[in-house]
Amino acid sequence: MRFRSDPQAIRGSIAPLMTPFTADGAVDHDGLTNLVRWQLASGTHGISIGGSTGEPGSQTVAERAAAIRTVAAAVGDRVPIAAGTGSAKLDETLELTAAGRDAGIDAALVITPYYARPTQDALFVWYRTVADEFPDLPIVAYNVPSRTAVDLAPETVARLFRSCDNFVGIKETTKDFEHFSRVLHLCGRELIVWSGIELLCLPLLALGGAGFVSATANIAPAACAEMYEAWQAGDLERAREIHYGLHPLVDLLFVETNPAPGKWVLEHRGLIGSGHVRPPLLPPSEAGVARIKDFLAEGAKYLSPAEGFTVEGKS
C-alpha cells in the first residue's frame, strides 16, 4: 500500500483482472495469482480486481474480499492496486472497502449504485459517506452508465472533489468523450481520470487523463503498457500504431458479453485452468468462438507471451 499516500502515482495501464473460476465454478485463487504474476512480468503499471470484467455481481461479498486479499498478497508493493469495492448496497460497499483497506490496496474503486437510479444529490451523499468512512484511503468513482443505468455528472464529480480530501479520481466508462473533457475542465488535472473504454484509452491521454483500466490488458498487457509509455515518451506514432493494432483484440473481447471471450483466450493460452463464467453469463457460442479465432489471428502480434506462466495441465 505504498502508493496509498500518493494516488497520483496510480497511472498508466491498470489491468482489470478477470476472476478465474474452476470448471465447477469456485474462485480459482491459484489461477488469480498466476494472472498477477503474468501481468507484472508483462510490465503492467497497476492491477485492479473486482471491476465489471471480474464478474463481481456473481460473487458473494466474502468471495470478493478473498479475491482482493489474494491479489494484494501477489502484488505486494510492486505496483498500485485499485480494487473494486462497490455494490448496490451501502453496507456491502463499506464492508468490501474495509476489507480492501485492511488487505493493503492503494485505492478503492467504487461503482455508482446500480438499479436504483439515484439522483445526483443521492450520488453525492453516497460517495461522501464512503469517503468519510475511510479518510485515509483514496476513493475513485467508477462511472459505467451502460451497466448501472445512472450517470455520475461532471458537476457532481467536481462537487465531490472539492468536498472530500480523499476523493481523488474517476474511472469513466462512457463513450461520451465530451464527458471526459467536462470532468477535467471542472476539476483540473489534479483529479485522476482513467478511461474504461478501450478505444478511448489513448485519446484520453491527450486531454490530461492519468491512464486507463482497459479489459484489453487481460490478453495484451505488454502492448497496453507500451502504448502508455510511448505516449509519455513523446513517441506518438508508436502509441497510435499500438492503438490501432489493438483494435482486433478489443473487438474480440466484446464478440459476446465480456469477460467470456477473454476467458476463452486465457484458457486456450494456458494462463488459467478454465474459462468458466458464472450465470447469467455463458461461454462463447460456436459462432462466437469462430469470430474470436479470426480476431485472435488478426491481433496476434500484440498478444503478450504466455510462456513460463501456463498452469498445470495446460500448454
The single residue of 171, 228, 263, 302 carrying the catalytic annotation is 171
SS3 label, residue 279: coil
80 preceded by cis ω (within 30°)?
A: no
CB 35 within 8 A of CB 7: no
The single residue of 142, 228, 263, 302 carrying the catalytic annotation is 142
User: Is residue 127 among the annotated active site residues?
Assistant: no
CB 16 within 8 A of CB 171: no
259 preceded by cis ω (within 30°)?
A: yes
Q: What distances in angstroms separate CA 21 from CA 18, 34, 36, 100, 171, one per listed residue?
A: 9, 13, 15, 21, 26
User: Is residue 171 among the annotated active site residues?
Assistant: yes
Those residues whose C-beta lies under 8 Å from the C-beta of residue 118, and which sit 6 or more positions away, are 112, 126, 150
What is the grid cell recorded at 1? 500500500
User: On the CB side of 238, how many CA atoms lie within 13 Å of its CA?
Assistant: 13
Q: What sign does the dihedral 157-163-165-166 (CA atoms) show?
A: negative
Nearest-CA neighbor of 18 among 60, 66, 67, 65?
A: 67
User: On the CB side of 143, how many CA atoms lie within 13 Å of its CA?
Assistant: 24
Tell me the one-letter amino acid at 216: T
Q: What sign does the dihedral 187-118-67-32 (CA atoms) show?
A: negative
Q: Say how far apart CA 289 and CA 291 lie, in whole Å.
A: 5
**Torsion angle in degrees (nearest 10) through CA of 141, 105, 3, 87:** 0
Name the residues annotated as catalytic.
Answer: 142, 171
